[in-house]
Amino acid sequence: MRWALLLASLVFAFALAEGAARSVVDDVYLERQIRSGGVFTPYEPHGRADLLTSEFRVGYRINRFGHRDREDRDEARTPGVARVALLGDSFGAGWGVSFEDTFGARFEATSGIEVVNAAKNGGCPLWFVPQARFVTERFAPDWLLVQLFDNDPEDNVQFADRFALEVGDPVGDGP
């Protein structure tokens, strides 16, 4: 009887602690994959989430295009202003840093060149091809800037089955 009472008390305490934690932390980054290519939430239009690790807690705001980019980003170009579309993985997206400290935001602030940051956590070079088509059609950049890291060839192998295209096959809707 004592063991049953102790077990019931522990279960109740854990449930209470879980409820309290969920009320304090709104959205916790859960590596739930969406679409293909290892793209993780919170990259859903108008998404809000906290990336929470043992090292940091960073709020992510996702704009209407599904990018961790300026919320006021417009598809239309600002006349006379150059535009770059940034593709990449978590390094380009700014893993662990506030939006203002991401490479794209800092480059835009210091150079005066518009930077459409389309980098996403978990992006891999196989994903860059459909994403390049998507951002080129939507934002008409002057340049594509692709951020690569030394683990990217391994990512291609890991996600290759999600990009099983034959020559000439359409890519689909893109990420």
103-127 per-position pLDDT tens digit: 999 999 999 999 999 998 877 777 7
Q: Is the pLDDT of residue 175 over 90?
A: no
Q: Domain ranges for the chain, please list them.
A: 23-71+79-163
pLDDT at site 38:
35
Q: Is the pLDDT of residue 32 over 50?
A: no
Tokens linked to 87: 């593709």
Provide CB contacts within 8 A for 106, sequence distance 6+: 100
> What is the pLDDT averaged over residues 30-38?
36
CA distance 2 to 12: 15
CA distances from 138 to 90, 96, 116, 132, 162 (A): 22, 28, 11, 10, 24
pTM of the model: 0.67
Regarding predicted confidence, which is higher, 162 or 83? 83
Q: Are 105 and 155 in contact (CB under 8 A)?
A: no
Pick from 45, 41, 35: nearest CA to 65: 45
Q: Is the pLDDT of residue 22 over 70?
A: no
Burial class (CB in 10 A: 0-12, 13-18, 19+), 47: middle
Secondary structure (3-state) at 143: strand
Per-residue pLDDT tens for 125-171?
Answer: 777 777 888 899 999 999 999 988 877 767 666 666 665 555 555 54
Per-residue pLDDT tens for 39-76?
Answer: 345 577 888 777 777 777 888 888 999 899 999 999 99
pLDDT at site 4:
81
Pick from 137, 59, 143: nearest CA to 98: 59
pLDDT at site 166:
55
pLDDT averaged over the chain? Answer: 77
Q: Is the pLDDT of residue 31 over 60?
A: no
